[in-house]
Structure 1
């Protein structure tokens, strides 16, 4: 007879006194015994939120288990609300009795509590009417529970095997198939291995016809090789069952070899794919990860990589099937260590999942290729790759320790770094793509050094023409999911410096700025929206040495100095209408600039404001 390969679900019931102290409690000793026996412990303290009351949830979990283990100490325990004085532990025991679930009861020896609780005495008497033992120490409980579990599983298997063999032999094929399908395939294999090969072949053929070829293949893989071959000979070609058996056997071998990492099965073998590369195969989830299989081989996905794999649609998603095991990654320039695992990817390029202290994040298409070309200078990813829709062809961006990698059809793969990358993050992805590499911008007359970069920004993330944030109240960057976004992208140029912050200028504004000399001209670097100097009652882009209005009028020099230092003058004059013009004799330095509600004159280097009433009298 084949050995057991699927764990029993064991409900562990006890009062809180046996769960203390943490690190050396009787509950932990019992959990160790259950794990050593190869079974899956379930305990009330591990349950999450549920729709029912706590006692209803406990009873429901009891009914889902194959075995009840009760640890009874000296205290009766907390009474369950609405249960007429019955404790949680006794309510769980009663649920096991009502559901006819086998019970192993262990009663604690030693000194009792200061006052004997008659309810606990009565409960112990009721519970010990069956299989029970006593314990006085952690070691004693662990040893005795382990021995009881091994004895129970032999009896449990023998009873089920005898019953299923009789069903397979005498009942109609459809009824026999339904009976065996009610059990995990590995457990039913114990009975299938003992029944006549022709009878089993009929049952498995019926199951495969109904779409349960993975169950049939898993059951065959759990048997001894010679016995499985006999059944397959009786089956005939059965290519689907044979392929599923091959996958199940390979996955089982890996699960056994890597049991400390993977733990027990968390679900059945299932078909997977086809992938974007048209590969089909199988997957099986485990408590500590996932194993995939294709004709190219079987690979283990650790828990966090498996979660990332599922997040991206599994084998049928953009990553496809894994094509390597975990590989050590070079330590990043930021001191981070981790590993990576390669995947088929899709028609745009291969896929890869990086795993580090930041988490497990996926990259695919052209972005991983750029990461390799950068020789690790970008470090590990901090988020999954995001697909950007709304352009002629979808683009991508992904955040790394050393910057944000973007890819678009018109600009290829580029990187946003430093303050420019921070601007992308702080404005919800307002800077969508880099349209070219970052480059130094000429030093300003004020002595500021910085950089500039051509980019594509999301319409609505910035006011048209000016670096004023409107993203929160007029959003145009629509996140479909954590992995997709929809935008309308517009060309712009971003400037960044430590002194002035980060500012985004659209094509028109950047053209006027360039005509005025750019950062090396009198305007200097643009001021970012967070700069305390960038305050004006009318719409304008502030610079170190002046402002540029929405009508493309530049305010510089002495006129700018007057307005910058006197907000009341700015508010009264209104927006500029024309650029500064010379007046008086050539070379006198006298000038005038017109505003909506007045003018500013400059004589002998002194700027003076004249408001509409005063200007009309002049």
Structure 2
């Protein structure tokens, strides 16, 4: 048996039998002109990008247009990639013939040239290419453009701003328009109150991407983005974005699902309204951490219902209070504690909470509030000690005479009276209110 390979085929001989098997040379481009356009389009999709470009360059313009028109209809991304990597003059000829099928193709020659130029300059920061030039859009503002993905980011091209580097590989979706197209290159952002420095990049529709060493790349858009800008951005109380937007809820108090996004200085919530729509409410980091520890919106507190306010108690203590669906949270020198709304209506003269509610009792600066089957009643600090052996209160204070500080209060096991500042307690089985 003899085998001879002379480049044009394989010659195999076995005694008196010889077979010639001819094989195409791998160094010669595929002759697409010898095939009908549909077959040629299939072959083009099977070739590597560079080999397909060479094969298309070897056929007359009319054939190349016919083949690419089929590829464009079946695999738009393949056609765009091939056109973007062709000789610019040949690309312009083909685009001129194909733009009726896809009007946005008219922008491709300029986009491909600008993307290639920026890629050479930004390769160090963007890293290696992870895909081919692709068409993206339209954005929600009607913009069509092109994208070149890289390991650490991407290059985006739009008619309005040309080619721009975006160091956010996992955040961009030009079709849905979450960030849309960039309006400029990254630039330094203000130093936050928490001491963080970073950069930001503007996008269509008021969106922005912030990048910091501590929190990485974070996108801001939509209503939370608008609220963030109105609050002062990085230089405001929220500082830099520190997490992604999250879908949360519904709450146990009846509100449907909403959204939240974490920042250095707190969390912004998109709180569902009673009927339709949402309101944006921010919660400071201290209250947000407390809220999270209580189970978040699915816990006792639910969604925040209004912005925090500064308050001063009747004892002169300053605090920050914020109302949620299920309670109000106070932050003061006593700590961070919640007060249920039903309890909160009783504590005006008792001041700020100094403990959590536990076993039906919650302590305040000026006393305590007890909750039982008999109801919820406040007890002044001055009678808490003698009331210890009498159990829970069963009535509110009942005034004795004209002096507001003279009163009686019934408990499970007795009664306490206060007259002229003198506190007296009796253990009794009285079941009727004080006459």
The residue number in structure 2 matching 1:321 is: 181
The separation in 2 between residues aligned to 1:236 and 1:318, in whole angstroms, is 27
Match of 1:276, SS state, is coil
The residue number in structure 1 matching 2:410 is: 594
Q: Do 1:592 and 1:600's aligned partners in 2 also have CA atoms closer than 8 Å?
A: yes
Q: Counterparts of 1:455-604 in structure 2 under 5 Å?
A: 455-457=323-325, 462=326, 493-506=328-341, 508-513=342-347, 518=348, 521=349, 523-529=350-356, 534-535=357-358, 537=359, 539-550=360-371, 551-563=375-387, 566=388, 569=389, 573=391, 575-581=392-398, 592-595=408-411, 597-602=412-417
1:330 aligns with 2:190: yes
Any unmatched runs of 5+ in structure 1? Answer: 1-158, 463-491
The residue number in structure 1 matching 2:171 is: 308
Q: Do 2:156 and 2:163's aligned partners in 1 also have CA atoms closer than 8 Å?
A: yes
The residue number in structure 2 matching 1:155 is: none
The residue number in structure 1 matching 2:216 is: 359
Supply the RMSD in Å over aligned alpha carbons: 3.8
Q: Counterparts of 1:34-433 in structure 2 under 5 Å?
A: 162-164=28-30, 166=31, 168-210=32-74, 212-232=75-95, 237-238=100-101, 239=103, 241-296=105-160, 297-302=162-167, 305-309=168-172, 315-345=175-205, 350-356=206-212, 357-364=214-221, 365=223, 366-372=226-232, 375-386=235-246, 397-406=260-269, 415-417=282-284, 419-427=286-294, 428-429=296-297, 430=301, 432-433=303-304
The separation in 2 between residues aligned to 1:582 and 1:434, in whole angstroms, is 37
Match of 2:353, SS state, is coil
Match of 1:526, SS state, is coil
Number of matched residues? 387
Shift of 1:354: 1.4
Q: Do 1:262 and 1:288's aligned partners in 2 also have CA atoms closer than 8 Å?
A: yes
Shift of 1:614: 11
The separation in 1 between residues aligned to 2:126 and 2:403, in whole angstroms, is 85
Which one is further off, 249-258 or 371-380? 371-380
> Which structure is higher in strand share?
2
Aligned CA distance change for structure 1 residues 308 and 228 (closer, same or farther; 3 Å): closer
Q: Do 1:395 and 1:409's aligned partners in 2 also have CA atoms closer than 8 Å?
A: yes
Shift of 1:176: 1.7
Q: Do 2:29 and 2:51's aligned partners in 1 also have CA atoms closer than 8 Å?
A: no
Q: Deviations over 1:487-536 (max 9, x none)?
A: xxxxx543211224232442x433333xxxx2xx3x1211343xxxx53x
Q: Deviations over 1:239-298 (max 9, x none)?
A: 354344544443333223312222333123344333333433333322221222332233
Q: Deviations over 1:387-411 (max 9, x none)?
A: 6677999965433222334566989
Q: Do 1:420 and 1:502's aligned partners in 2 also have CA atoms closer than 8 Å?
A: no
The separation in 2 between residues aligned to 1:253 and 1:559, in whole angstroms, is 81
Q: Do 1:275 and 1:316's aligned partners in 2 also have CA atoms closer than 8 Å?
A: yes
Q: Do 2:201 and 2:208's aligned partners in 1 also have CA atoms closer than 8 Å?
A: yes
Aligned CA distance change for structure 1 residues 263 and 162 (closer, same or farther; 3 Å): farther
The separation in 2 between residues aligned to 1:557 and 1:216, in whole angstroms, is 81
The separation in 2 between residues aligned to 1:609 and 1:359, in whole angstroms, is 66
Of structures 1 and 2, the one with the larger relative CO (CA 8 A, separation 6+) is 1
Aligned CA distance change for structure 1 residues 379 and 253 (closer, same or farther; 3 Å): same
1:435 aligns with 2:306: yes
The separation in 2 between residues aligned to 1:377 and 1:588, in whole angstroms, is 44
- TM-score by structure 2 length? 0.74
The separation in 2 between residues aligned to 1:607 and 1:283, in whole angstroms, is 83
Aligned CA distance change for structure 1 residues 381 and 542 (closer, same or farther; 3 Å): same
> Which structure is higher in helix share?
1
- TM-score by structure 1 length? 0.54
Q: Deviations over 1:374-424 (max 9, x none)?
A: 844432111234466779999654332223345669896654335334323
The separation in 2 between residues aligned to 1:295 and 1:589, in whole angstroms, is 78
